[in-house]
Amino acid sequence: MPTAKSDAFVFFGATGDLAYKQIFPALQALIKDGRLDMPVIGIARSGWNLDKLRKRAHDSLEEHGGVDKAAFAKLSKLMRYIDGDYGDAQTYDKLRTGLGDAQHPLHYLAIPPSMFVPVVKGLAASGCSQGARVIVEKPFGRDLKSARALNRTLHRFFREHDIFRIDHYLGKEPVQNLLYFRFANSLLEPIWNRDHIASMQITMAENFGVQGRGKFYDEVGAIRDVVQNHMFQVLALLAMSPPANRSADAMRDEKLRLFRSMRELKPEDVVRGQFDGYRKEEGVSKRSTVETYAALRIHMDTWRWAGVPFFIRAGKQLPVKCTEVLVRLKNPPQEVFDAPTNGAVNHFRFRLSPDVIISLGARVKVPGEAMKGHPVELVAHRHVRTAMAPYERLLGDAIDGDSVLFTRDDCVEEAWRVLDPILGDKVPVHTYKVGTWGPKQADALIADAGGWNDPKVDAPPKVGS
């Protein structure tokens, strides 16, 4: 498998929102770290020129992290700009000329998914795909059928190990820490199975709405936007078996085994919600049935996890902005002392944002003669404000040809297989009030497993039934 470093960085959608918020800051950071010294070619159909793109990059950096004079000067020197339509062969002829002697360009498709196919075909027809890698932004299709079609098209022109399906969530330091904590320590593995774990739940809460992206969101919804990718990836890190080694294929092989063990979802395993007022958002249909909230109950047919329910919920306009995992352990087989009043005696809690928390929930004796206890948490807490930004990590890895943090074709298709039966309007949508934890129907989904754990950002949450 080739390991040659990319020698040119090309990004389609150079004048777009993703480039402004993420790509320019990542490129400057890579230059500061000494990891980027190659032509940086922006392509868009905006009628711009190079000076305007440089100004756009400067404005982006001022707003997102600050301008480093030396690094920005180098970035400006490396930058090129090609203005043209993605369906016009001349655009790719200009790119072929602009690449010069580059043998291993990296093409980043920071564009709407509808444009992936014409751009990939244009790259191939002009010879720009020869020896190249390609980065594809999520969503990777809208369902199993479209994901398979997209993969077939990509495989016509690129080998699988040259395709980098980017999910910025996998580049986050706290998510990486979850993977490291599981497999760098021996304390979890003896109990990380159906004999000791009663349930797991993952909450990804956002305390804001669609933020002007109504038209986009109304075509996607919560399940396609964050569940199929972000949340399934976190679930995989929690439940996968240890990989044989650190290689990309070893990691992704274990994820694939896990996804293949997941049962296809049924309507009774899913609750969809829509926050009150969503249909008034600009770009949203007045009759929209798209979910802004989703709760799912997942079962896996494996020796390790048979009978253990996994719960996922994600939603907008919830009380806090927080992503948290709660692993409830089974209670002791006999109550020697007082019976706990809050359901679970022990738990692990992994907070992934906005801060990083790894904690163990237990019961300890209260002072006095009575043998009574109360719940406490043993907390290891650290901030990650200076951590490498996800896009810097992921773009740097793609440049180096390291695909460990990127998603493979078969994993994408297996995730869609699980979700396919409940996509669209097969599950009704329930309205919920802004600032609440979603529709009440979601409570019944997890009632037998102790109820949802509602994260609190300003203090450690109380874990109850």
Contact 89, 125 (CB under 8 A): yes
Cα-Cα-Cα-Cα dihedral sign, residues 445, 450, 454, 455: negative
- Superfamily classification of domain 170-389+399-449: Dihydrodipicolinate Reductase; domain 2 (3.30.360.10)
Domain segments of the chain as ranges: 8-137, 170-389+399-449
Give the residue from 161, 159, 160, 108 showing the smallest Cα distance to 130. 159
pLDDT (average), residues 386-398: 87
- Model confidence at 432, pLDDT cuts 50, 70, 90, reads very high
pLDDT at residue 343 tops 90:
no
pLDDT (average), residues 435-448: 97
Contact 318, 207 (CB under 8 A): yes
Contact 406, 249 (CB under 8 A): no
Contact 107, 14 (CB under 8 A): no
* pLDDT value, residue 338: 72
Instruction: Name residue 334's amino acid.
Output: Q
* pLDDT value, residue 462: 47
pLDDT (average), residues 114-136: 94
* pLDDT value, residue 53: 97
What CATH fold (topology level) applies to the domain 8-137? Rossmann fold (3.40.50)
> Sheet holding 79-83: strands in order across?
79-83, 40-44, 8-12, 105-109, 133-137, 163-166
pLDDT at residue 339 tops 80:
no
Cβ–Cβ contacts within 10 Å for residue 119, how many? 22
CA angle 87, 90, 93 (to 5 degrees): 115
Residues marked as catalytic: 230
| Beta strands, E only, 244-372 | 270-275, 293-298, 310-315, 322-329, 347-353, 356-365
* pLDDT value, residue 386: 56
* pLDDT value, residue 461: 45
* pLDDT value, residue 463: 47
pLDDT (average), residues 91-107: 97
* pLDDT value, residue 384: 56
pLDDT (average), residues 171-191: 89
pLDDT at residue 341 tops 80:
no
More confident residue, 115 or 275: 275
Give kind and range of the element (H or E) at residue 165: strand 163-166
Question: What is the average pLDDT score of the chain?
Answer: 92
Cα separation, 165 vs 142, whole angstroms: 15
More confident residue, 414 or 335: 414
Q: Which residues share a beta bridge with 329?
A: 197
pLDDT (average), residues 37-51: 96
* pLDDT value, residue 1: 45
Q: Which residues contact 23 (CB under 8 A, 6 or more apart)?
A: 11, 108, 110, 391, 395
* pLDDT value, residue 238: 96
Q: Which tens digit of pLDDT belongs to each residue from 15-30?
A: 999 999 999 999 999 9
Q: Where are the alpha helices (DSSP H) in 173-318?
A: 173-184, 214-218, 221-222, 232-239, 248-261
* pLDDT value, residue 225: 92
More confident residue, 374 or 296: 296
